[in-house]
Amino acid sequence: MWSLGGDAGVSDDYEFVNKFTKHDYELHFLIPKGEPGSQPDIENFHTHTYPNFFKAISNLPTFLRRLLLPFLFNSVVIPRALLLARALKPDFVLGHSHYSTAATFMLRKLRSLPTGVKLFGVMDLVHTQWPRWKYLYKNAEQMLALKFPQDLWIVLDDGTKGREALLRHGVSNEKIHFLPNGINLEWADHACNREKIRKEMRIPRDACVVLFLSRFVPSKRPEAVIRSIPRVLELAEREAIFLFVGGGPLKASSVALAARSKVAEHTRFMGPVPHSRVPDVFCASDIFISTSNLTNMAIPTFEAFVCGVPVVAFDVGDTKKAVKENETGCTVPDGDIEALARAITDLANNEEKRAALGLNAKKYAMENFTSWDERTDKELEIIDSWVRASRATS
């Protein structure tokens, strides 16, 4: 839970737990049994488990998994949650992701508890340009989930236009709390030895380093970056090294694709790195690449801003709100590999432009982004108000 299976960054939940336990909340998390990663030693924090059916169906075709997941989640989690609620008598119940909406609705109805759901973006609900049939097929579970009434919805602004999506699907505006992602703004002052870090990573001192930092999953499209490399090597006036940081189910196939494309010697696949080392990774890099098919306003993009690394991204979702053309970075048409390669090359060949965009990006970050402390303060205020109201009427 804390490292999302050991190959992702610090969980949003970790910051949430730290904030709420420091303000005398006792937190109980209901999570799948046997999830990797250790539970942090935090006072007033407890975990409870339910059978991990996710692993049992992980090898099934996507269509079957989509059919089974809502059924399994509700049939397994709802009874467990009802029993926990009867024993714990919580002041508030917060579900995470759209899968939890039926469970929180049942707790609201059968236990008369105030409930809310926290969405970390709205995924394919952003794709309103799709044909109607495709939109319905891709979003059926989320659209159904939004039909279960809640007292509040906390939606994080990851660039997938969450507020608009919820309003479009019938959630009333007064119940939506649209919050920014939290960012480690202190990284703007991170001191590092770039030459030493590059040496540890086996990166030539004078190479232009292009960074992809993400989970290796289909929505992040790591293969798009790899397919751009041959063209970049053809056009670039200096050596280019592509640094891939992260893990996930597509990592092995990405390494294989780099080998088949004969660009392996120009790539470094580091795997996951501790969150505390991420600023060093940015320090060693010259350009950051984001190729998601949902949004490229995710936390790693914003971390690149804070560290003064210019961004090249596919133009999806609300990406252009932050990645401003030739100001904080560059956007290219979604899925256009040639345009991606040319944008990377343009920055690789122009040190002065890279430096200017990096400075602008850092300035934009410090003026517009929200620290984790500020973000979790907003969540605390939202839930505090419901807890106080609930206690006043009970």
Whether 3 is in a domain gets the answer no
Per the structure, the count of domains in the chain is: 2
Could you list the residue range(s) of the whole structural domain that residue 256 is in? 185-369
Same domain, yes or no, for 200 and 241?
yes
For the chain, the three-class secondary structure string (H helix, E strand, C coil) is: CCCCCCCCCCCHHHHHHHHHHHCCCCEEEEEECCCCCCCCCCCCEEEEEECCHHHHCCCCCHHHHHHHHHHHHHHHHHHHHHHHHHHHCCCCEEEECHHHHHHHHHHHHHCCCCEEEEECCCHHHHCCCCCHHHHHHHHHHHHHHCCCCCCEEEEEECCCCHHHHHHHCCCCHHHEEEEECEECHHHHHCCCCHHHHHHHCCCCCCCEEEEEECCCCHHHCHHHHHHHHHHHHHHCCCCEEEEEECCCCCHHHHHHHHHHCCCHHHEEEEECCCHHHHHHHHHCCCEEEECCCCCCCCHHHHHHHHCCCCEEEECCCCHHHCCCECCCEEEECCCCHHHHHHHHHHHHCCHHHHHHHHHHHHHHHHHHCEEHHHHHHHHHHHHHHHHHHHHHHC
Q: Assign residue 133 a region: left if phi > 0, alpha if psi is -120 to 50, beta otherwise?
A: alpha
Side chain identity at residue 215, one-letter code: R
Predicted local confidence at residue 115, as pLDDT = 95
pLDDT in tens, the chain (394 residues): 233 344 445 568 888 998 999 999 999 999 888 765 445 678 899 989 999 888 888 888 888 888 898 899 999 999 999 999 999 999 999 999 999 999 999 999 999 999 999 998 898 999 999 999 999 999 999 999 999 999 999 999 988 889 999 999 999 999 999 999 999 999 999 988 999 999 988 899 899 999 999 999 999 999 999 999 999 999 999 999 999 999 889 999 999 999 999 999 999 999 888 888 899 999 999 999 999 998 888 899 999 999 999 999 999 988 998 999 989 999 999 999 999 999 999 999 999 999 999 999 999 999 999 999 999 999 999 999 998 887 777 6
202 plus 297 within the same structural domain? yes
The answer to whether residue 83 is domain-embedded is yes
Q: Does 223 share its domain with 292?
A: yes
Is the domain of 161 the same as that of 204? Answer: no
- 16 and 124 in a single domain? The answer is yes
Question: Tell me, what's the pLDDT at 141?
Answer: 92
**Domain co-membership, 242 together with 117:** no
Q: Is 171 inside any structural domain?
A: yes
Residue given tokens 């703007």 in the structure block: 188
Residues 52, 93, single domain; the answer is yes
d(CA 87, CA 107): 13
Residues 349 and 251 in one domain: yes
Q: Is 1 a domain residue?
A: no
Q: Is residue 321 domain-resident?
A: yes
**Residues 288 and 207 occupy one common structural domain:** yes
pLDDT at 66: 87
Residue 334 lies in a domain: yes
Classify residue 2: in a domain, yes or no: no
Residues 288 and 357 in one domain: yes
In terms of domains, do 167 and 190 share one? Answer: no
User: What's the confidence (pLDDT) of residue 12?
Assistant: 82
CATH code (residue 314):
3.40.50.2000
Domain assignment present for 60: yes
According to the model, what pLDDT value does residue 153 have? Answer: 97
- My answer on whether 346 and 215 are in the same domain is yes
